Structure 1
Amino acid sequence: MAVISLRKSTCQLFQQGGARFDPLRVLSSRFESTEPNFGIMFDIDGVIVRGRTVLPFAPEAFSKLFDQKTQQFKIPSVFVTNAGNSIRQEKADKLSEWLNIPITEDQVVMAHSPLRMFNEFHNKHVLVTGQGPVEFIARNLGFKKVTTMDQLRHAFPALDAVDHKRRRAAACAFEKYFPRIEAVVLFGEPVRWETSLQLLIDVLLSDGQPSAAPEKIVYPHLPILACNMDLQWMAEAVMPRFGHGAFLLCLENLYKKVTGHELVYTALVGKPSEITYRHSEHVLQEQALKIGLKKPVRHIYCIGDNICTDIFGANLYNKYLQRARDTEIISQVQAQNIGHNSRSIDNLLGTEGELKGATSCYSILVETGVFSRTGGSNVSLDHSPRDFLPVENSYQEPTFSTENVLGAVDLIFEMENYKKNDQ
């Protein structure tokens, strides 16, 4: 994997995701205005913290972005995490505690945040999986008829049979009256994988009515909305841990093994999906307005530790921005041909208004999480989500690489000539 060193001259052109990156163009743009025309998207796990431990240099990095006198950010900053088992306010409170500066929920983008825009599913009866307050999260996103995995296993006690101590052989008398499930929402990895995998397959095979064995397999299956595609993530352990992407991999392979059909996602949100980056840009542009910037953010810098999600996703979005400059409307057919799942970003996010304006998105890889210089070469391109394969090597090459988040912030300031204009 080619990683761009900071020792490279800023006059050089860098290759990123099939696009030419010209630092001189970035530098020259800084002299057009005394206010910043750039914003930063931060990953959290592996960039700011590992598990519950704040990484060195993270508080110092954010002290350069935050004005203690005005108690607001000097640079538009948002936090984009693939976590899907908590609410934004909870994550904002944790960030405030870790970084010693106030972070608002409006600055946080969770893996599930874009689901607010999936209005066509909000009135359907959905089964939600994950851990934490998943029912509250679903209702907060707009879903009105919600069933959790625990509620489903209590309604159909004979289905959960792997753990002998939890087996309840007696069927519920009201099983046949249970309202048909119309869609599945996967927020994050559950605690008991065997229970969720079994009951999800049951629901898909029975077309949402697991009270009786299906006479035939209905295909295409029920709509599935999945968040967080991270195969691995970095906690306190010395090696990466399995993420929701690993659970999805199990579900995909079990469904294909049982039915002979491919499991198809109606939508995949969270990094590296361009939908999530488009939504995150919308949030970033709103932050720019809130701190008083008169012009939209033009350059986005995405700082992450995971090549297969953070870097891949930022590079995909940079490619999207290039296409958007070439044409005002990207048709659904074009979108599918270039790797979108099944939805047009522009059609989906048109309801968010026109708070857009970014022309480029640059990826910065830090070495404090999933990626390390010694172990990074062992990361296979196949670690990327199935629906985004095949992956070109160039899409997993960061624009820049730094040791930590403080180095990344210093690099951005240098590229944008911000120190000179900030005095």
Structure 2
Amino acid sequence: MGSCGCPWSLSQMPGTSYNRAKPRSCQPCWGSRLGFENVVTVDELRMAFPVLDMVDLQRRPKTTPLLRNDFPAIEGVLLLGEPVRWETSLQLIMDVLLSNGNPGTGLATAPYPHLPVLASNMDLLWMAEAKMPRFGHGTFLLCLETIYQKMTGKELRYEGLMGKPSVLTYQYAEDLIRQQAERRGWAAPIRTLYAIGDNPMSDVYGANLFHKYLQMAKRDGAEEQGAGGLWKQRPSATQSCASILVCTGVYSPKGTEPTQPAQGVEEAPFHGHRDFSFSPGLMEASHIVNDVNEAVQLVFHKEGWVL
């Protein structure tokens, strides 16, 4: 989980609580770079309230610490990537949500709606050196959602979901590409975007969802407003987004098709996030190639560029 002046990269940040108290004097962390003030990490929260983290016996306090009353109330939770210590992060994030941002105290009834929760990086799985995929941040979110539902009987709600397959992420990427083209003095508008990825449930799904959004925007004039009304952007000249699936990651041509149910199962498993509906057509790539090199060669061919 990221902290002010922390050494972790964005992909390693499991969750960040934040409040609007006066920022501390420290090096900016990822949370503050994103516009949040006075970011508090799970590790900082654990050190401030050591009795909250009781699973690891070696980290339990030897004596009962004094109760702190100078810790500012937390006003929201930012989740960016899977943590190293899942039990610690799950426990402390739940403490924050159930205590309405005051984890050193206890409430007879958990508040609902709960504090705002923002999450990114929804991939259930990702591919590393192992032969089988590893748990991703989507798996961590699934655990948190299940625990919250079990403890409160209510659904964990998100103020926003960013990252693939959210349309907002592709809008942002499109805007960055457009800015690069302008800096290079390219007058011709970019009509087609190509999205290359290895995960049908996030990369392909997101690219196809954005393509669907572009078609609707062209028909209904919806490009004036970002998806969900979260972000205002200039009218888009992009007409389509092609999804290119590579075989060097989560997807394997030798494996079971993600849109087909396994033998004896009525429906195919959906590895996408709970708040995205299952649509098999959105997980069908426009093109399937062996690796990124072939994907780039395909783009050159489609655009009529001869190397």
TM-score using structure 1 length: 0.63
For the residues of structure 2 that align with 1:346 and 1:261, how far apart are their CA atoms? 23
User: Cα distance, 1:174 vs. partner?
Assistant: 5.1
**Where does structure 2 lack aligned partners over 5 or more consecutive residues?**
1-7, 22-26, 260-267
Question: Which among 103, 111, 116 is matched to residue 210 of structure 1?
Answer: 103
Instruction: Please say if residues 198 and 248 of structure 2, whose CA atoms lie closer than 8 Å, have aligned partners that are also in contact.
Output: yes
Instruction: Please say if residues 127 and 249 of structure 2, whose CA atoms lie closer than 8 Å, have aligned partners that are also in contact.
Output: yes
Higher relative contact order (CA 8 A, sep 6+): 1
Q: Residue type of the partner of 2:113?
A: P
Residue aligning to 2:196: 303
Pair 1:387-2:275 in alignment: yes
Q: Residue type of the partner of 2:242?
A: Y
**Where does structure 1 lack aligned partners over 5 or more consecutive residues?**
1-84, 88-109, 113-120, 126-133, 333-343
Pair 1:258-2:145 in alignment: no
Instruction: Please say if residues 19 and 72 of structure 2, whose CA atoms lie closer than 8 Å, have aligned partners that are also in contact.
Output: no
Of Structure 1 and Structure 2, which has the larger fraction of its residues in helix? 1
Question: Which among 169, 174, 179 is matched to residue 72 of structure 2?
Answer: 179
Residue aligning to 1:163: 56
Residue aligning to 1:86: 9
Pair 1:362-2:255 in alignment: no
Question: Which among 339, 342, 349 is matched to residue 231 of structure 2?
Answer: 349
Instruction: Please say if residues 18 and 75 of structure 2, whose CA atoms lie closer than 8 Å, have aligned partners that are also in contact.
Output: no
TM-score using structure 2 length: 0.85
Alignment of 1:14-53 (within 5 A): none
Question: Which among 362, 367, 371 is matched to residue 251 of structure 2?
Answer: 371
| RMSD of aligned alpha carbons | 2.6
Residue aligning to 1:226: 119
Instruction: Please say if residues 200 and 258 of structure 2, whose CA atoms lie closer than 8 Å, have aligned partners that are also in contact.
Output: no
User: Cα distance, 1:374 vs. partner?
Assistant: 0.9
For the residues of structure 1 that align with 2:177 and 2:63, how far apart are their CA atoms? 53
User: Cα distance, 1:86 vs. partner?
Assistant: 2.4
Percent identity for Structure 1 against Structure 2: 46
User: Cα distance, 1:230 vs. partner?
Assistant: 0.8
Instruction: Please say if residues 19 and 38 of structure 2, whose CA atoms lie closer than 8 Å, have aligned partners that are also in contact.
Output: yes
Residue aligning to 1:55: none
Q: Residue type of the partner of 1:252?
A: E
User: Cα distance, 1:222 vs. partner?
Assistant: 0.5
User: Cα distance, 1:171 vs. partner?
Assistant: 4.9
Residue aligning to 2:285: 398
Number of equivalences: 285
Residue aligning to 1:141: 34
User: Cα distance, 1:356 vs. partner?
Assistant: 3.1
User: Cα distance, 1:290 vs. partner?
Assistant: 2.3
Q: Residue type of the partner of 1:394?
A: G
Cα gap change, 1:207 to 1:417, in 2 (>3 Å): same
Instruction: Please say if residues 157 and 168 of structure 1, whose CA atoms lie closer than 8 Å, have aligned partners that are also in contact.
Output: yes
User: Cα distance, 1:346 vs. partner?
Assistant: 6.8
Instruction: Please say if residues 302 and 310 of structure 1, whose CA atoms lie closer than 8 Å, have aligned partners that are also in contact.
Output: yes
